[in-house]
Amino acid sequence: MSEHKQPKLRSAAWFDNPDNPGMTALYVERYLNFGITREELQSGRPIIGIAQTGSDLSPCNRHHLELANRVREGIREAGGIAFEFPVHPIQETGKRPTATLDRNLAYLGLVELLYGYPIDGVVLTIGCDKTTPACLMAAATVNIPAIALSVGPMLNGWYKGERTGSGTIVWKARQMLAAGEIDYQGFMDLVASSAPSVGYCNTMGTATTMNSLAEALGMQLPGSAAIPAPYRERGAISYESGKRIVDMVLEDQKPSDIMTREAFENAIVINSAIGGSTNAPIHLNGIARHLGVELDNDDWQEIGHDVPLLVNLQPAGEYLGEDYFHAGGVPAVVAELIRHGKLPHPNAKTANGKSIAENCEGIVTDLPDVIKSFDAPMKERAGFINLKGNLFDSAIMKTSVISDEFRDRYLSDPNDPEAFEGRAIVFEGPEDYHHRIDDPELDIDEHCMLFIRGTGPIGYPGGAEVVNMQPPAALIKRGITALPCIGDGRQSGTSGSPSILNASPEAAAMGGLALLKTGDRVRIDLNKGTADILISDEELKQRRADLEAAGGFQVAESQTPWQEMQRGMVGQFDRGMVLEPAVKYQDVAHT
Ligand code: FES
Ligand code: MG
């Protein structure tokens, strides 16, 4: 154990409380029954939870079942006792109707476990998209010492000599299938090639983003995020994380000491530099709210927009997770930002007790094609734009994935190069889109914008990743592979479509999107940050009155109890999509 003065441990209230021998005996005897001794439980050793997100249901995180053995060894080595327990599983590609629906359920469950059991500190086993924010949100609410441990990305996928990235390849394969370049069997082969090992998506999707940001926030050991799941370094960092959490307990280093406003500002800048997913603002805004830290989508634009994209990973670039690791991962990105004075808070404290600058300063990448230099980036000004108008109060656009072709077509009006206008085609959710996208009656051409609604946190419980819609097959055959897409749903971070998403408030909450009609003209001005239906305020008012008179925006029935409960409590994407009644519970381990 470290030489810190032994603090009074939280677990002593369960296991070593002479004022209440009856309860203490009851607590102690049952934890003895699998072979722990009284001496171990009552000698002041920190009890360290291993919040296990891996299971057969969640293959992206399943490798944590193995890694937990190394975590345990680290905990024991440092003088702690490990208690491993399950977290409600969340598999992005397996859960219907959406995996996001379960982010808040896993959060709620983990809060109860961390609060209600004798746990002094916790190792959060993170990985697949929503597992990371669920764990960090719970740690934020309970505020006991916590360290995050990524499961790591899968190895690079390969097909016929080319890298195939998880998720990203699906979008490409769909286009190839639609264009008749491959058949069903070829489609399956191509997609399966992108998942060659244990671990999470190897692209810069939501998983790599959120794991990188858990490190950027200071909640992981430096360099932890990028290590591929099967590498020996992944076992080693699991051991180190187990060791470190014991000292964090003895030092009483809490999530609120690490995840400060400064740490979030750093994470926003790092998110732009890595080309992070549009799901990041939802999750970070949510974590911040559970800590009582102010953070909104205006911050993302103000702090993050003018940051260059440095990391050359799919979907914005060409490489994958193994390359990211060999190029130095998050520390190499941070070091490059520090060298150019672009990291706002180099002194922000991290899990190992050092500042982010102490951890990263001076690191230079060995692979300058994977992590580019600040002076020759992948793209300038790669952060998000926060759009507002009569369509919504806030919606996010990721500018780093807008193709040159798209820029030329839509953003090259010499009078106003940042504006585009088009005819709206409105779909009521993904089923309606799939049903009607090829309907010739819609007369979709290259001057149209595709809208999807009813897909937000309330409308499609949890919010569906459906905003990136492909144009009709007829347009793809003519070489038009992308149209502007706008919606109140989300978009997979592995997709490269130029979309405006996370629109808040959503149609189901009677946001402006609910009033849009197919055929309306819509104008988007990226320079001014506006998005408007080009109709009068009176007409808008009338449409709202008509819709309200007709009973409001209709959504499908809930299919499970949790869907109904969450719909009644959940906030909008721009406010982190948290359970609103949960926000007032902060620092609950100390109240
Ligand atoms: Fe789990 Fe992508 S599906 S990380
Ligand atoms: Mg995703």
What ipTM was assigned to the predicted interfaces of this complex?
A: 0.88
Q: What is residue 345's predicted lDDT score, i.e. its pLDDT?
A: 98
**Regions of the chain with pLDDT less than 50:** 1-3
The residue among 516, 565, 579, 518 whose CA lies nearest residue 544 is 516
Instruction: Return the ligand 1 atom nearest residue 129 CA.
Output: 4
Q: What is residue 414's predicted lDDT score, i.e. its pLDDT?
A: 60
Ligand 1 atom 3: the closest Cα is on which residue? 92
Cα–Cα distances in angstroms (integers) from residue 25 to residues 12, 43, 116, 517, in the given order: 12, 15, 17, 67
Do 43 and 9 touch, CB atoms closer than 8 A? no
256 lines ligand 1 (CB under 6 A): no
How many whole angstroms from 534 Cα to the centroid of ligand 1?
A: 39
Residue from 58, 92, 277 to probe ligand 1 pocket by mutation (most atoms less than 8 Å from CB): 92
Instruction: Return the ligand 1 atom nearest residue 200 CA.
Output: 4
154 lines ligand 1 (CB under 6 A): no
How many whole angstroms from 211 Cα to the centroid of ligand 1?
A: 11
201 lines ligand 1 (CB under 6 A): yes
Cα angle value 534/540/541 (rounded, 5°): 155
465 lines ligand 1 (CB under 6 A): no
Ligand (nearest to CA of 89): 1
Can you tell me the distance from the alpha carbon of 292 to that of 139, in angstroms, rounded to the nearest whole number? 13
| Residue 359, helix vs strand vs coil | helix
How many whole angstroms from 108 Cα to the centroid of ligand 2?
A: 21
How does DSSP assign 100-140, residue by residue?
GGGHHHHHHHHHHHHHHS--SEEEEEE-STTHHHHHHHHHH
Q: Give φ, ψ of 457 to 5 degrees.
A: -60, -35
151 lines ligand 1 (CB under 6 A): no
198 lines ligand 1 (CB under 6 A): no
How many whole angstroms from 10 Cα to the centroid of ligand 2?
A: 37
Residue 9 half-sphere exposure toward CB, CA atoms < 13 A: 27
Roughly how many angstroms between the first and final C-alpha of the chain, as a whole number? 28
Q: What is residue 410's predicted lDDT score, i.e. its pLDDT?
A: 64
Ligand 1 atom 2: the closest Cα is on which residue? 201
Those residues whose C-beta lies under 8 Å from the C-beta of residue 539, and which sit 6 or more positions away, are none
